[in-house]
Chain A
Amino acid sequence: MSELHATLSGIGVSAGVAVGPLVIVSPPLTAPPNEAPTTDAAAASQQVRDTLKAVADGLLAKAANADAHAKPILEAGAMMAGDPGLAGAIDTQLQTGKGITNAVAAAVDEYCAMFESLGGYMAERVTDLKDVRDRTVARLLGQAEPGVPSLTTPSILAAVDLAPAETATLSTETCLGIITSAGGPTSHTAILAAQLGIPAIVQAAGILDVPTGTTVALDGGVGEIIVDPSAEEQQMLQDRKARREKALAAGSGKGMTKDGHPIQLLANIGTAADARKAAVQDVEGVGLFRSEFLFLDRDTAPTVEEQTATYTEVFEAFGDRKVVIRTLDAGADKPLAFADLGHEENPALGRRGIRLGAVRTDLLDDQLQALANAQKATGANLWVMAPMIATRQEASWFAERVRGIGLPKVGVMIEVPAAALRSFDVLSEVDFASLGTNDLGQYTMAADRMQGELSALLDIWQPALLDIIFYACDGGAKTGHPVGVCGESGGDPLMALVLAGLGVSSLSMAPSKVRAVRTALALHDLAQCQQMAAAARASVGPKEAREVVLSMADPVLHDLL
């Protein structure tokens, strides 16, 4: 066995097995503080121009192979790198005697400051500008450009974490698997990998010390990584993959437990394109349609007509299947140029979701009007819910507006522990609720979802979170109104059993996860699920909770993880 051979572990966030060469995504380099000052400004200026040209050419080459979503991002970057104004600003810095990479950084930072002060769309371009800066600085230092390199052979990517712009260029043909040393189960990387069906592991300590090119095997279900695996180990993983495929192939149609208790299996979608892709899958409808994409990246709110057209497209894709839409969920962390309520110290605890809707009723009413128009035109089985409801009064306020406009089904997201604990009150005002377990976890544990170091607190198996979900379902049951789950936890086959046992009536997830969850449910009776839920809640910690549930599960379920 070679000296490289090792086993690493992390948190599996997207199930599946992959074997391939490792490609480490280089982290960005910063301009060195001790750089030699520029003495020949003219020569340095020419070198900068040549480098910017190379960066622009590289981005254009990537754009040529990118999909419709990534292409404009890359082309915009190429245009910035080729900007004569930027080259001129760098010249000005070089003439003060600054070292060459520091001159580039200073000139770009000036533009960034200007764009940030303009806010909205312009502030978002700062990410693109900084990307151009990092590529230029790396080239000037004689290093590889940071970010995901163009993959010529199918590979496994490893990085500290991947930025949205980096993941935008990934394809399932060349990216076999993703491993990050940081990031959490609800990070952007994890969600994207699950959507694409790419096996992925986060929080894998030590992975960045493995040399690029080393063969690596990963199992995204259990979070295991084998560096330089032996033939037997590769075979073992392939066998597991084959058993998994066999188990998955078994079921189709509506979700239900072995004894026939129905659990609806729904898809999470974010765009009309997602809707078209999800609609051809074996799902019972949409459990979470995030409407934000219509509002982000623009200077003015979308008109009622524009929204109506998009909603109509989504509803038509799903025919008479249920579609649950969440009204606009924006706030200080997802700012909108046309609805900026100003800086907040704690955006997650600030005026986001329905709290923004209550201030900007014009935005909410336009959205509801567009939904009503599209529903009327298509006869869609539409369910409308509000994000960030905390109290019965908020639920009642929202329900009145939705019903007033003629929409049949109104509900709330339960992400705030207050709403979960008082779910009988909240659900007395509305027809249904959906648990956003990512945010519910964040607020229950007082741990920022974006803070990878706190991912242990955000574990979906935390008994406190399970208790909160239990209370939410219990209150819901007393009103006779359904409570579903639309967070990432609904897509975990083992957790799905616990959620069913806690009283959840529907699970919404990335469409790629539906098959495994359907199979898991079909292997167990509702009574078994209830016993698992009770055992998980009786555990002292998340690790113990998961272990005890796994020990109670059907052996075939192990192959699904």
Chain B
Amino acid sequence: MATREVAIGSSVGLHARPASIFVQAATATGVAVTIAKAGGNPVDARSILGVMALGAKNGEVVTLSADGDGADAALDSLVALLERDLDAE
């Protein structure tokens, strides 16, 4: 199991547009990635409803996890995405 921790870079949090960009990117990796807040249950990173319901705010740290082939590369690309302020782009 590969995991990464990253602080949300988007100023509005992982919401609205940033959430859809993230979910689209997670789906595009083809890997089953989960996302969780500290102490919370992991949710499917390909589920817009699950990701929005996390309510991860700007600066909050989330944990990404995945298994199998391509897991590390997928997580690295998603970490790089979450670090950016997606709402401002």
B44 and A84 contacting across the interface, CB-CB below 8 Å: yes
Alpha-carbon distance between A379 and B55 when the two chains are bound, in angstroms: 42
A129 to B49, CA, bound (A): 9
Are A79 and B55 neighbours in the complex by a CB distance under 8 Å? no
Inter-chain CA distance A89–B16, complex, in Å, is 22
Which stretch from A110-118, A231-239, A265-273, A478-486 is at the chain B interface?
A: A110-118
Interface residues on B, range: 10 to 19
State whether A122 touches B44 (Cβ < 8 A).
no
Contact A122 B55 (CB under 8 A): yes
In the complex, A83 Cα to B46 Cα: how many Å?
Answer: 7
CA distance A235 to B12 in the complex (A): 56
Contact indicator per residue, chain B 15-26, by CB within 8 Å of chain A (1) or not (0): 111001001000
Choose among B16, B44, B49 the residue with the greatest number of A CB atoms under 10 Å from its CB.
Answer: B49
Q: In the complex where A114-B53, A122-B53 touch, is A83 in contact with B48 (Cβ < 8 A)?
A: yes
With a CB–CB cut-off of 8 A, which chain A residues contact B47?
83-86
Judge whether B43 is part of the interface by a CB distance below 8 angstroms. Answer: yes
B14 to chain A, nearest CB (A): 11
- Closest chain-A Cβ to B39's Cβ sits at a distance in Å of 17
Q: How far is the CB of A108 from chain B (nearest CB, A)?
A: 10
A121 proximity list for chain B (CB < 8 A): 15-16
Question: Taking CB as reference atom, which chain B residue is nearest A108?
Answer: B49
* Residues in chain B near residue A298, CB distance under 8 A: 12
Q: Give A298 to B47 CA distance when docked, in angstroms.
A: 21
Main secondary structure on chain A at its contact with chain B?
helix
**Contacts A83-B49, A85-B49, A86-B47 known; A118 to B55 CB distance under 8 Å?**
yes
Q: Is B43 a contact partner of A85 (Cβ separation < 8 A)?
A: yes
How distant is the Cα of A129 from the Cα of B52 in the complex, in angstroms? 13
Q: Decide yes or no: A79 and B53 within 8 Å by CB, A84-B47, A85-B43 being known contacts.
A: no
Determine whether A333 belongs to the interface, using a CB cutoff of 8 Å to chain B.
Answer: no
CA gap between A125 and B20 in the complex, in Å: 13
CA distance A300 to B57 in the complex (A): 11
Contacts of A477 in B (CB 8 A): none
Min Cβ gap A336→B in Å is: 14
B15 and chain A: residue at smallest CB distance? A121
User: Does B9 belong to the interface (CB within 8 Å)?
Assistant: no
Cα distance, A134 to B40, chains bound together (Å): 31
* Residues 86-109 of chain A, each 1 if its beta carbon lies under 8 Å from chain B, else 0: 101000000000000000000000
Chain B contacts for A122, CB-based, 8 A: 52-53, 55
B24: nearest chain-A partner, CB-CB: A79
Task: Determine the distance from Cα of A79 to Cα of B52 in the docked complex, in whole angstroms.
Answer: 12
Q: Measured between alpha carbons, how far is A86 from B47 in the docked complex, in Å?
A: 8
Taking A85-B49, A299-B15 as contacts, is the C-beta distance between A79 and B20 under 8 angstroms?
Answer: yes
Interface presence of A168 (CB below 8 A): no
Write out the residue numbers on chain A whose beta carbons fall within 8 Å of the beta carbon of B44.
84-85, 88
| Complex Cα spacing A115 to B55, Å | 10
Q: Which residues of B contact A299 (CB under 8 A)?
A: 12-13, 15, 57
Residue A435 interfacial (CB < 8 Å)? no
A-contacting residues, B19-68, CB 8 Å: 20, 23, 43-44, 46-50, 52-53, 55, 57
Give the distance in Å from the alpha carbon of A139 to the alpha carbon of B58 in the complex: 39
The answer to whether A118 touches B49 (Cβ under 8 A) is no
| B43, B48, B53, most chain A CB atoms within 10 A | B48
Compute how far the CA of A125 lies from the CA of B50 in the bound complex, rounded to whole angstroms.
13
- The distance in angstroms between the C-alpha atoms of A88 and B20, with both chains bound, is 19
Question: What residue in chain A is nearest B47 (Cβ atoms)?
Answer: A85
Q: Which residues of A contact B49 (CB under 8 A)?
A: 80, 83, 85-86, 111, 129
Q: Which residue of B lies closest to A115 (CB)?
A: B53
Please tell me if A76 contacts chain B, counting CB pairs below 8 Å: yes
Q: Shortest CB–CB separation between residue B10 and chain A, in angstroms?
A: 11
Tell me which of A75, A76, A118, A300 contacts B53 (CB under 8 A).
A118
- Not counting A84-B47, A85-B47, a sample of 15 additional A-B residue pairs whose C-beta atoms are within 8 angstroms of each other reads A76-B48, A79-B20, A80-B49, A84-B44, A84-B46, A85-B46, A85-B48, A85-B49, A88-B44, A115-B53, A121-B15, A122-B52, A125-B52, A129-B49, A300-B12
Interface residue ranges, B against A (CB under 8 Å): 12-13, 15-17, 20, 23, 43-44, 46-50, 52-53, 55, 57
- The 4 closest A-B CB pairs, nearest first, are A85-B47, A85-B50, A79-B48, A83-B47
List 10 A-B pairs, Cβ < 8 Å: A72-B17, A75-B20, A76-B20, A76-B48, A79-B48, A83-B49, A84-B46, A85-B49, A86-B49, A122-B53
